Structure 1
Amino acid sequence: MIDPPAPAQAKPQIQPLTPLARGTLYTTVALLLLALCFGGWGLWKVFGNADADQPTPAQLQAQQRKIDQLEQRAATLARSDQISRDANGDLQSTLAERDEEIAGLRADVAFYERFVGATAQRRGLTVHELQLQPSSDLTWHFVATLTQNLNRGAVNAGRLQVSVEGTHAGKLQRLAWADLRQQPNAPGVEYSFKYFQQVEGDLMLPADFKPSRVAVRLVPQSGSPLEQSFSWADSLAGAPAAPAP
């Protein structure tokens, strides 16, 4: 017995898109393509122009040369400013030295005029000034300025001696020239001048000796000796001598 043939299966029917669905599909595809285009353009802007924004080796060298020039100019200006400061400091120091020299010269001129000027008061041999400066704890250096204008053109010569009065161990004591020089029969310092001369020497004081006055004794080759006294404090300040008695 022959089986009857199976009935044929019906093929699925594809429904045509409605105009609305078709428009929506086209719009979606268009938007997708547009998005892909914008995405590709953005990637190209980011990565495609990256190399274009980088400076070339020539540009880098030009920039480095400009930086080097600016640094060199800054260093030159700094050196010029320092040189100007140093020069200004040297100038100020030089001006101060010149002012000091001028003041000293004016004092010297006034000093000379007092003794050799036409209106200068006539005075014989005298100690115009005595200065004391410490050389060590017990040693002192003295500078005595001797003057005379009574006998113009005449040479005054002789020897100078110094003595110091003070206290030692609570007692008054006078140290003679030999004591101060620590040499028995020590000769005085020689002097010889017409108008003025500075005579220098050194003194040695005993330990714990407290000086109060210092006396300068002049022994000329002709004439009587004379002595002038100074306070120790005035001698440290370089004050003029008190008039001889």
Structure 2
Amino acid sequence: MPVTPPPDYSVRPRLPGSHERRVVAVLLALLLLLGASFTLGRWSAGRGAAAPGQAASAAAQDEIQALKQQLAIVQRDRQVMRVATDALRRTLSDRGAEIESLRADLAFYTRLIGGDEQAPGLGVAALTLSPVAGTRGYTFTVTLLQTARDSNPVHGLMTLTLQGVQGGRAARCAWAQLADARQRDGLPFAFKYFQQVHGMLVLPPGFVPARIHVTLKPAGGAAFTRDLAWAGTLAGKDTIHVPQNP
């Protein structure tokens, strides 16, 4: 039986440090793999945690936007309501003034045709005073009328007299003390149904008026006087007063 010769072995010298380099390379590869796995895990976890937060933030933004739109609508509705309310108030005020004007006109024409209890004849329907700024002067308007049926035209002179207080005592100012020198005899009137007489008076220094008397002196007839409160004439009250003795 043939004998098999033993294998040949060759001895190769090992390079110094080659085994250590392989070990270090393997360790570095493992460390890199572990680092990559850790980073990937953190990124995945962060992405998963951020998704619900982003959804909640988006929902909050949508709700804020919806509330802003609702607030804008409410503010717009409130503004429209305010404008409508102001317009309604102005309309009611205008209607109230119109009603008062119509009532005054009705009362005036009722007196003109003798539809109230006033005695027929010449009368004073109204007297209004307006102060002249920066002076003691007042402009006035006296409305005269005739309430008698089938009355004839009437003409004559009108004067005003004031009663009040001056220097702590009762005082009286005649028309000559109040009027311009050219009108001291009185203001003329001439009408058949009604007329407005305009004029101006100036209060003496220190005089405080309380009452005002309107005296009418028709030509060919007896003079008579109407007594009115000074405050009432300043307020523009349109009333008929009971005649007083001249």
Quote the residue 2:90 is aligned against: 93
| Paired letter, 2:226 | Q
Q: Alpha-carbon deviations, 1:84-117, whole Å to 9, x = none?
A: 3112221122113203322331342233224316
C-alpha contact (below 8 Å) 1:131/1:239 kept by paired residues? no
Residues 1-245 of structure 1 mapped to structure 2, 5 A cutoff: 39=38, 42-47=41-46, 74-75=71-72, 78-116=75-113, 123-136=120-133, 138-152=136-150, 154-170=152-168, 173-183=171-181, 185-186=183-184, 188-236=186-234, 240-245=240-245
Secondary structure of the equivalent of 1:143? strand
- TM-score, structure 1 length as denominator? 0.61
Please tell me the residue identity of whatever aligns with 1:115.
L
Unaligned runs of 5+ in 1: 1-34, 56-62
Give the 3-state SS of the residue equivalent to 1:81 in structure 2. helix
Aligned-pair CA distance for 1:50: 8.1
Q: Across the two proteins, how many residue pairs are aligned to each other?
A: 205
SS in 1 for 2:84: helix
Check whether the contact 1:152–1:195 (CA below 8 A) recurs between aligned residues.
Answer: no
Residues 30-65 of structure 1 show CA distances to partners (whole Å, capped at 9, x for unaligned) of: xxxxx999855641323456897898xxxxxxx999
Q: Does the CA-based 8 Å contact 2:124-2:226 persist in structure 1?
A: yes
1:4 is matched with which residue?
none
SS in 1 for 2:181: coil
- Output the aligned Cα RMSD: 4.2
Residue type of the alignment partner of 1:191: F
TM-score (norm 2): 0.61
> Structure 1's 67 and 161: CA in aligned 2 closer, same or farther, altered over 3 A?
same
- 1:179 Cα deviation after fit: 1.8
Q: Percent identity?
A: 35
For the residues of structure 2 that align with 1:221 and 1:37, how far apart are their CA atoms? 127
Output the amino acid matched with 1:44.
W
Q: What SS is found at the alignment partner of 1:123?
A: coil
Residues 155 and 65 of structure 1, relative CA distance in 2, 3 Å threshold: farther
- The amino acid that maps onto 1:91 is L
Alignment match, 1:31: none
